[in-house]
Structure 1
């Protein structure tokens, strides 16, 4: 289960891990949604260490609205997804500096 939003505007989003990847220079996972989630789809997060020692995060998401509220949100749903991906990148940058 993951949460979307903040405080009284938050929504529960039931989900499960659908794959993981652990290799020498890559690690990551993806989750897929369950019925009851506002969106239907998957989102993956893969961290890669390149030959120069730089760390890269790739976030890939695909989804479609699964509830009337999500359909009414229209393009704001995509804005939220991009914002969440940027926050994940900011956290990775902060952690990679430790």
Structure 2
């Protein structure tokens, strides 16, 4: 992970429903909800460390530049894929409960989509760990609107890579 100076990244989210991943997704967006149960014996603390320190995003294939080493409310992160795709986001909230940890980030200007995504790890009563991702988004650029099903397929592909990266 590379350190990012957040002064050059716009502050204003590109959608009005900031924090909506904590409840019901808003109307008018594409909603994705996926989860993966980690293998028996998976270390909850290690998985949390990987998620909160951006390693899951790196394992998914992104180059990560973030304003903080760990995801905290207000952190700015710019994910890059290849030479062209730049995905700026701001951490909206952090979940920090004994058996539930994670964060949500929302899109900032320059992101090809507009919306929010939450990444949560949950440790069940049986000790098993589940990783859940919930997102709502809609195209925000001409290119993402024109990509249609291909763009949605790419989003789904990257979401599956997050699931594998934890």
Q: State how far apart, in whole Å, the 2-side matches of 1:81 and 1:47 are.
A: 20
Secondary structure in 1 matching 2:159:
helix
**Gaps (5+ residues) in structure 1?**
93-98
What is the Cα-based RMSD across aligned positions, in Å? 1.3
Match of 1:56 among 114, 127, 130: 130
Q: State how far apart, in whole Å, the 1-side matches of 2:78 and 2:126 are.
A: 34
Higher RCO, Cα 8 Å, sep 6+: 2
1:79 aligns with 2:156: no
Q: State how far apart, in whole Å, the 1-side matches of 2:94 and 2:121 are.
A: 12
How is 1:22-33 mapped onto 2 (pairs within 5 angstroms)?
Answer: 22-33=96-107
**Displacement of 1:4:** 4.5
Q: TM-score, structure 2 length as denominator?
A: 0.51
**Corresponding position of 1:95:** none
Count of paired positions: 90
**Displacement of 1:26:** 0.3
Secondary structure in 1 matching 2:121:
strand
Secondary structure in 2 matching 1:75:
helix
Q: TM-score, structure 1 length as denominator?
A: 0.83
Secondary structure in 2 matching 1:87:
helix
**Displacement of 1:39:** 0.3
